[in-house]
Chain A
Amino acid sequence: MNGKLTLSRYNILLKDSKENYIVYNSRTNSLLKIPEEFYYLLKKETDLEEFDQDTKNLCIQHKVFVNHDEDDVFYRLKKMEANSFSYSSKILSLTILPTSNCNFCCEYCFETDKKKSVMSDKTIDDLIRFINSHHHTDLQLTWFGGEPLLAQKQIRTILFRIKTETHANLLFHSIVTNGYCLNNNALQLFKEYPLNDMQITIDGTKEHHDQSRILKNKKGTFDVIISNLKNTLKELPECIISIRVNINQKNKDEFPKIWNYFQQEFETYRSRIFVYPGIIKVKDEQNKCWTCETLFSKERSEFFYELNDQTNIPVSFYPSFKSKGCIATMTNGFVIGSEGEIYKCWSEVGDLQKSVGNIHCPEKMDAEKNSKYIIGGSCFEAEECKTCSILPICSGGCPRERISNLFEGTHYELCSIYKDPRILAKSLELHYSKKEKI
């Protein structure tokens, strides 16, 4: 190593509740317990060359001590990695809405006021042309809606035509469904075109779920979904199923009950069915920020601390590296609406103001809007992220919320929950306390 050693900007020096002194480095995701004297020497920004060689070697290995420009080089590499992902031409990633119709009428649905339609033959023709216009070998699909299983005929047609009329290799496909229409026809379809992953939303226990996730005739849906899930697990042995349990301030205490229910009811399928809390974000009337129904960082962390203290639900408190982006920041990622509209984000489907183009005339893609997502959605364009000590474990938040803050004057919270040093300290302490008990 050449040049003068310096402390990495990715170090976080903390003192835990038991007076342990620790240094966490978000670049290597490593954690060191250090003596008090060492802690204060680091705090005082002592000349690092003064330390003994063993100490220096250990700290260099964990990137606590770095060459004077090493963090800048790392940042550039991470930015290059993120850009490579955004501009990669290896994979075409499509989220397709074969219909915007839905058989449910959930009170919190963000698509209720949107126009309803089923994908027409003409739109499917243009979708196949759109896929063929991208010279990719690999294709990733997600079926989304509305309720996509209301359009099984369209899904079957699209899959058949991808197989027979395109050169795309369907790498995998997944579906976001309410689970109510997972009938024998749907299972037969996904046996013919093996489905890799399915996400179903449950709103808590039967009692709670049947109040909010209801059919248009107000009838509850819990029992049918559970019955369909059992069939699905039996009939589609390769499919991984994620159960998203919507959580807000009102029902957060329900989560352990529903988690335990799934553990017992689906005991033999535990390796293929995962139940997790989906923290609902509720916007205010002006769409400017989240309302108090939303669980913010402090409430979110308390929710997980309580799970850890009061239940046997396994929670990992240790940070991990975050993804490089999402479909919104990929040049080859698109959400295709049921009428052929193209969006960059799932939550904007049906809002024509947010559409970036249409597969009926893909050459007229709105470059200005597209650039907002791809460039503006990236945390690597933000000055405050450039020097942030937790950048590697924070993706910079949701790209759509980032561009909304940039261009629409909103104030969404973008930073990782670990940005709060009290939360980071407690999380790390919980992690290594657990390890010490093992």
Chain B
Amino acid sequence: MNEFKKKSAFNIQVLEGVDPMSDVSLAEIRGGIIGCPCKAGTLILKPCDCNKGSQTVLPPIKPNSALGCDEVQPYLSFE
């Protein structure tokens, strides 16, 4: 450990940064839930250019509208 400490920073590459939706204060804009996730399924939206992050929504909710972004580019959710 001593060989590394305080010499230079490790070469750490950020592949994905902090998701803005991790901020609990943004929780209010995540939208409501209608019905049952199991039946409705989920769509994941491609993160849009406004850099406000991706959002998992249920189909009854218009994607990203709460974030003020109208771009809708659905990806199939892996889950």
A residues lining the B interface (CB < 8 Å): 22, 27-35, 37-38, 41, 46-47, 50-55, 58-59, 61-63, 77-78, 81, 84-85, 91, 93, 95, 140, 142, 144, 172, 174, 176, 196-197, 199, 240, 242, 244, 271, 274, 276-278, 281, 300-301, 304, 307, 313-318, 320-328, 330, 333, 345-347, 392, 395, 398, 400, 416-418, 427, 431-432, 435
Residue in B1, B10, B59 whose beta carbon sits within 8 Å of that of A46 in the complex: B1
Decide if B50 is an interface residue (CB 8 Å cutoff): no
Hey, what's the 0/1 contact readout for B50-79 against A, CB within 8 Å counting as 1? 000011101111110000000010111111
CB pair A32–B62 under 8 Å, yes or no, is no
Residues of B near A327 (CB, < 8 A) are 33-36
Most buried by A among B35, B72, B78: B78
B33 and A29 contact, CB distance less than 8 A = no
User: Taking the nearest CB of chain A, how far is it from the CB of B13, in angstroms?
Assistant: 4
Q: Interface centre among A32, A324, A395, by most B CB within 10 Å?
A: A32
Taking CB atoms and an 8 Å cut-off, the chain B residues in 1-47 that contact chain A are: 1-2, 4-19, 21-22, 24, 27, 30, 32-44, 46
Nearest A residue to B21 via CB reads: A321
B6 pairs with A52, CB closer than 8 A: yes
Are A55 and B14 closer than 8 Å at their CB atoms?
A: no
Contact B33 A323 (CB under 8 A): yes
Contacts of B74 in A (CB 8 A): 274, 276, 314
Instruction: Specify the chain A residue showing the minimal Cβ separation from B37.
Output: A326
Contact A315 B78 (CB under 8 A): yes
In the complex, the answer to whether B38 meets A317 with C-beta atoms within 8 Å is: no
Q: How far is the CA of A317 from the CA of B12 in the complex (A)?
A: 22
> Taking chain A's interface residues, is the majority helix, strand, or loop, or is none over half, making it mixed?
mixed
A326 and B36 form a contact (CB under 8 A): yes
Instruction: List B contacts of A22 (CB < 8 A).
Output: 15
Could you jot down 11 A-B contacts, CB within 8 Å? Answer: A30-B18, A31-B15, A32-B15, A35-B12, A37-B4, A91-B32, A199-B59, A242-B41, A274-B59, A278-B39, A330-B33
Inter-subunit contact A276/B77 (CB<8 Å): yes
Q: Is the CB of A78 within 8 A of B24?
A: yes
For A29, the closest partner residue in chain B by CB is B19
- Distance to closest chain A CB from B36 (angstroms): 5
- Partner pick for B19 among A28, A77, A328, A432, CB 8 A cutoff: A28
For A33, list chain B residues within 8 Å (CB).
12-13, 15
Q: Are B41 and A276 in contact (CB under 8 A)?
A: yes
Q: Do the beta carbons of B72 and A271 come within 8 Å of each other?
A: yes
B41–A321 CB distance below 8 A: no
Q: How far is A110 from B52 in the complex, measured between Cα atoms in Å?
A: 40
Q: In this complex, what residue of A is CB-closest to B6?
A: A52
Contact (Cβ within 8 A) A323 B35: no
A346 vs B40: C-alpha distance when bound (angstroms): 10
**Contact in complex: B79, A142 (CB < 8 Å):** no
> With A35-B11, A41-B1, A346-B35 given, is the CB distance from A172 to B16 under 8 Å?
no
Chain A residues within 8 Å of B30, by CB: 321, 323-324
A54 neighbours in B (Cβ, 8 Å): 8-9
